[in-house]
Structure 1
Amino acid sequence: MMNMANPSDDPVSLSHELVKDWFAALERIAGGEQLERFLEAAGVAPAMLARPGARIAGEQVIAFYQIAAIATGDEMMGLWSRPVRSGSLKLICRSVIGAPSMATALNRLAQVWNLLLDDYQLIFSEAGGQGVMTLAPRAADAPLNRFGQALMLKLAHGVASWLAGHEVPLAGLRLAFPRPSFAADYAVMFPLQPTFGGGPSAIAFTAQTLARPIMRKEGEVQAFLERAPRDWLFTTSMAHVLALRVRHFLYSGPSGFQAGLAETAEHLAMSHRSLARRLAAEGVSFQQIKDRLRRDAALRRLTRDHEKIDALALELGFAAAPVFHRCFRNWTGMTPAQYRRMAQASRGARAEEEAASRGARLAEGEPSRRAHAAGGPATIPPR
């Protein structure tokens, strides 16, 4: 049975559909072959993405972000019409670190971003005690990149959370596009349910957040940049979505994946009928939550570990290995063994490439990637 110390350990994954706009943007600026190299370097076999229902593990998403940003020299990786040059996020962090309040910091963040973006502008306003950051198009025909819109708002939330010293709650979140088929995935990125359409994308901060003092010092900027986006891309909040609280209990509770609806409901201090009814209102069932968690845990374990697949099936709560094989094929379009071979081959290729890169840098007299990164893209940690 698995145990999870905190929600950030959850083996989350994202639908390929959610990140497809991101990949398309990268392909436009770097080419198809380079995109495949980025994917393979992050441990993602490009062939996996052609499968129906393809998903990418959270750790692979983070690695891909870091690889693509440093390789392209564009910290937004082609998501906007003008490249966001290396060092931009460092400039933003340094502009907000000395603000007297969170409201001032968010206003400064918007002002700096507006020097960098052509097709959209960030507008920070205060009304009714809340602070609203709106991503407004500068022209009616501004391109609508769904991943880019979500990422920009998530970055604003991430910077605010870093300044506060903890993940801050949100009072609202609107995404400008119609509700997509992968809408459930936004629950692992933001600490509340988004609404879709009805205006430009926007994120609202509570009055309590606006009044918070800035907790960070200048000397902490580099550590934040080196870990990006690990500290802010995925939410650690469980309170905003009941389905996430159920998922957390299944992953960390005493019975693990063996827990049923009744035990979970008891843990959450409600009847099993009430739990089922409230989950249905969120558009999900208890079994769907369990199956999605099993899927994400399997993706992580098959990428990382070499344990026998039959043993993994039992650990994930399946009655028998053939049942796990059948479910995994439905999730990914391939068997667990096929997925493991493709994922671990990509990891091996990445390790070889990094070893060769280290050797080349040493031969050139460069002691480490940290020294190189100090003057380059600030969002990429040393490897």
Structure 2
Amino acid sequence: MERRMIAPCFMDDTLECLRRHGVDAGPLLAQAGLPSIVTGPVSANQYGAFWHAVAQAMDDEFFGEGARPMRAGSFALLCHAILSTATLEHALRRALRFLRVVLENPHGELVVENGLAQIVLKDAGATRSAFAYRTFWIILHGVNCWLIGRRLPIRWVDFRCSAPPAGTDYRLFFGAPVHFDQRRTRLVFDAEYLKLPPIRDERALKHFLRHAPANILVRYRHDAGLSAAIRQRLHATAPSAWPGFEAIAARMRIAAPTLRRRLRQEGQTYRSIKEDLRRALAMEALADGRTNVAQLAVELGFSEPSAFHRAFRKWTGKSPAQFRRNATQTDFAESSSPRKRTQPQES
């Protein structure tokens, strides 16, 4: 597993949660090989061991933050439940139903609209802590990233609660804009990813569970892997000037066949990375109304506007003009009742 460190805010939030629930953290820290006072980053393995110690002591893998306890072993059952699904969308719906049965509240609903997939959290009780919501996202997002073998780039995350003391660390963790004090809690990504097929089997699951949850905290971070390094390089360059595959491999000082193989291991190709970025840039520019469609096509490296129109319709099912109109209407209506398409329940 990658040798990565967990930010101090993870430990601070977890320890504060234990204090709220009257749990003595001392023995659990010692069990995970951590000092009684943690003042800096800890390794992913240490945090994973601490997570397991807390879950076993409380018999709750959600740390007492749900309406019902998520009994020890529930995470493994969740993984088994989604293993036989056909697409990421199928897996998400099944995972959300499983978590609703286990936790009752908060529970999530998948909403697809305007080319975006939104996992909206609902709750019959009072607003929960940022730690509770983030734990929900870690479980759901992490296990589904593992299932499809790649990270799902997040567009933005809204929290219904106020920002915690380490609120700035939340943006670093998600690798996307994070907003607090919102009307609802939701995680948003491009709906195109819902079509991706699972690539894991029972053998892979056994290996995954031996290292969870440390592996989902580092393996699918927004800054992890070669695909993220390539994405960062492309972000710094205008799409019309993006290099070819051989050129990017040379700049990264990696043999082209090796880079291709390692990207395949991350569930990516150079073409898919460029297409993901173009889609994200296009949707952001259209939603913000910063430029006209013809100029945007040129900026994104398309040979002509008609090629951009075809690509955008493939990504979202809408023309650029339709997407812009819908995005503007949705933003205007967000404070009341946005029009949305809720998918039918999965059995």
- Equivalent of 1:41, from 31, 40, 43? 31
1:85 shift after superposition: 1.1
Q: What's the counterpart of residue 154 of structure 1?
A: 138
Equivalent residues of 2:4, 2:43 under 8 A apart: no
State the shift of 1:27 in Å: 4.5
1:42-62 alpha-carbon deviations (Å, 9 max, x no partner): 23322x35xxxx434243322
1:118 aligned onto 2:108 = no
1:22 to 7, 10, 14: 14
* CA distances 1:69-107 after superposition (whole Å, capped 9, x unpaired): 233322222222321112211221122111121111101
Distance (whole Å) between structure 2 residues aligned to residue 147 and residue 209 of structure 1: 26
Cα 1:30–1:181, aligned 2, differ >3 Å: closer, same or farther? closer
SS at match of 1:189: helix
**Other structure's SS at 2:174 match:** coil
Call closer, same or farther: CA 1:112–1:178 in 2, change over 3 Å: same
Root-mean-square deviation over aligned CA pairs: 3.0
In the TM superposition, what is the alpha-carbon distance from 1:171 to its structure 2 partner? 2.2
Q: Distance in 1 between matches of 2:202 and 2:115?
A: 29
Contact preservation (8 Å) 1:22, 1:79:
no
Correspondence for 1:104? 90
SS at match of 1:233: helix
Deviation at 1:40, TM superposition (A): 2.0
Partner letter of residue 164 of structure 1?
I
In structure 2, give the amino acid aligned to 1:36: G
Distance (Å, rounded) in 2 between the aligned partners of 1:220 and 1:90: 13
Aligned residues: 229
Which ranges in structure 1 are unaligned for 5 or more consecutive residues?
1-5, 246-252, 254-383
CA contact (8 A) 1:121 1:138 kept: no
Distance 1:63 1:148, change over 3 A: same
Give the equivalent residue in structure 1 for 2:190: 206
* Matched AA of 2:33: G
- Secondary structure of 1:172's counterpart equals strand
CA–CA separation in structure 2 for the residues paired with 1:199 and 1:9: 38
- Select the residue among 58, 68, 71 that pairs with 1:82: 68
1 or 2 for the larger relative contact order (CA 8 Å, sep ≥6)? 1
Q: Output the amino acid matched with 1:152.
A: F
Gaps of 5+ in 2: 236-251, 253-347
- Provide the residue aligned with 1:11 in structure 2: 5
Tell me which of 17, 39, 42 is aligned to 1:57: 42
- Distance in 2, Cα, partners of 1:19 & 1:185: 12
The DSSP-based 3-state class of the residue aligned with 2:118 is strand
Pair 1:166-2:150 in alignment: yes
Conserved? CA contact 2:66–2:105, under 8 Å: yes
1:74 partner letter: D
What is the alpha-carbon distance in structure 2 between the residues aligned to residue 162 and residue 108 of structure 1? 15
Moved segments of 4+, more than 6 Å: none
Measure the CA separation in 2 of the matches of 1:69 and 1:136.
24
Cα distance in 1 for residues equivalent to 2:141 and 2:155: 11
Q: Does 2:206 align with 1:228?
A: no
Per the normalisation by structure 2, the TM-score is 0.58
- Map 1:145-294 → 2, pairs under 5 A: 145-234=129-218, 235-238=220-223
Quick check: 1:174–1:195 contact (8 Å CA) kept in 2? yes
